[in-house]
Structure 1
Amino acid sequence: MQLALALAGAMLIGASAHAQDAAALKKNMIGQWELSTTDRSKTCVVTLKPESTQQGSKLELEPDCAKVLPFTKDIVAWNIKGLDIVRLQTPAGEAVIDLTEVESGIFEGIRSGEGVYILQNLAAARSLSKTMDAMIGDWSIVRGNGRAICGLTLTNNEAGPENFQLFLKPRCDPLVANFKPTQWRLERGELLMFSASGETWHFEADDNAQWRRMPDMADPLLLLRQ
């Protein structure tokens, strides 16, 4: 009997905690968000509201959303499903897209046959956009001792659905020349470079406003603005 009561109490506590988590997430979602493709070449501003309707909670889409992201024409409300799923839904409550938090304030969802979409706080998304604009131009790849081994140019020329063109300058060190990156993008705080063969280099911004290749090495590679 005591065991049964203990189990029932634990279940009630667990259910209460889950309800609190969902309620906290719903409260945190109120406001303006950007729904976009992973490279942010297509974006739509979504305003999530606290008022409830029969379909869920109210939302507003900016006027051009359906032109930019056609699937958004079916979205009329939003809701929280489970503990961490933000559902943008039809009048019947069916999911147009379910988005799960993958990082603080960044949600990811997949639409079959279309790909991955990102939902993130509008202010943070626009800050990222400014960061990307700031990346366009000439850079040097530099060894930890300060010796430049290659120059390159990051452009905003589209090179596919998510990436942008990258051009190496002449006389690069074999390490970079053999890698031969041709495309780049920003993704979740990283700068990614891609070779035609599918190899990827990851760079993270460090405390000195420079980008360091990861994983870190004894002789690091740094990406510095020229």
Structure 2
Amino acid sequence: MIRIPGLAAASVAFALAVGQPAHAADDELIKAQAGVWLLAPESGAKGCRLTFNTTPATGGYGITGADTCTTPLPALSKASAWNFADDGSLAIMDGAGQTLVRFQQEEGSPWVSESGDPTWLLPALGDVDHVPTVASLAGAWRIQRTDGKAVCDVTLTTDKDSDGTAKMSLASDCAKEIGDLKLSLWAEEGFGLVMLGSDGSSLSFDMKPDGSFQKSDEEEGEPLLLVRK
């Protein structure tokens, strides 16, 4: 599963909800979810930002910024409130409390819309207004240390294996720490990118506002960057 930056706090809050009084757990979960979120089509088209507040509103808690959705996502231009459902989904509603869109989330992954064209709900990342796609990320990249020292050159392609996962290749002179992972496939999900090895190994990266990636915090070892060549 690809880890997405900004989801950890919400996941922890959800876990804490088990066995606690409802009102206390809800308060923690609501506070963890509050903030600025990007809603963007999986296709890579431009999205818009909504700010989730903790102030009560019809149907849940207030939303601001819906006017930014008028052009990219018109259906959300009337967004007025957000809230969680009993099944763990997250709904965005208009001023009358009618649901405009509902999102589901698997642990460690972004929120994804339940119906219609797939849309991500992600913690806003700088000025980024869209999510990357396999096509936009394909090409030559370099894994390097934070001091700029090259570790491994990689090529991400749009070619797919029989399961529909994109293929990748490593340069022949990669550092052992990367070469031993036998990375051959890759996938993107929201602002996350994961490289997959033939023996079950993996290496995950989180996107930065400038479009480069940094090794996910959950990964062991020293920090690494993934940058365009």
Question: TM-score, normalised to structure 2's length?
Answer: 0.52
Report whether the alignment pairs 1:40 with 2:44. yes
Calculate percent identity across the aligned residue pairs: 16
Instruction: Give the 3-state SS of the residue equivalent to 1:115 in structure 2.
Output: coil
- For 1:25-104, list aligned pairs within 5 A: 25-61=29-65, 63-82=67-86, 84-104=88-108
* Pairs aligned (count): 162
Instruction: Give the 3-state SS of the residue equivalent to 1:99 in structure 2.
Output: strand
Determine the structure 2 residue equivalent to 1:106.
Answer: 110
Q: Show structure 2 runs of 5+ residues with no match.
A: 1-16, 143-152, 171-176, 186-195, 202-226
Instruction: Give the 3-state SS of the residue equivalent to 1:71 in structure 2.
Output: helix
Q: Give the root-mean-square deviation of aligned CA atoms.
A: 4.8
Task: Provide Cα deviations, 1:40-70, integer angstroms capped at 9, x if missing partner.
Answer: 3221101011111234311112533121112
- For 1:1-226, list aligned pairs within 5 A: 16-17=20-21, 19-61=23-65, 63-82=67-86, 84-104=88-108, 106-111=110-115, 114-123=116-125, 126=128, 135=137, 137-138=139-140, 184=158, 193-194=159-160, 199-201=164-166, 208=178, 212-214=183-185, 216-217=197-198
Q: Show structure 1 runs of 5+ residues with no match.
A: 1-12, 141-147, 155-165, 167-183, 185-192
Task: Provide Cα deviations, 1:130-175, integer angstroms capped at 9, x if missing partner.
Answer: 99899464469xxxxxxx9xx97x7xxxxxxxxxxx6xxxxxxxxx
2:91/2:99 contact within 8 Å kept: yes
Output the CA distance in 2 between the equivalents of 1:124 and 1:17.
36
Tell me which protein shows more helix as a share of its residues.
Answer: 1
Question: TM-score, normalised to structure 1's length?
Answer: 0.52
1:34/1:120 contact within 8 Å kept: yes
Greater C-alpha Rg: 1
Output the CA distance in 2 between the equivalents of 1:73 and 1:128.
17
Output the CA distance in 2 between the equivalents of 1:194 and 1:115.
22
Output the CA distance in 1 between the equivalents of 2:131 and 2:113.
20
**Counterpart AA for 2:56:** S
Tell me which protein shows more strand as a share of its residues.
Answer: 1
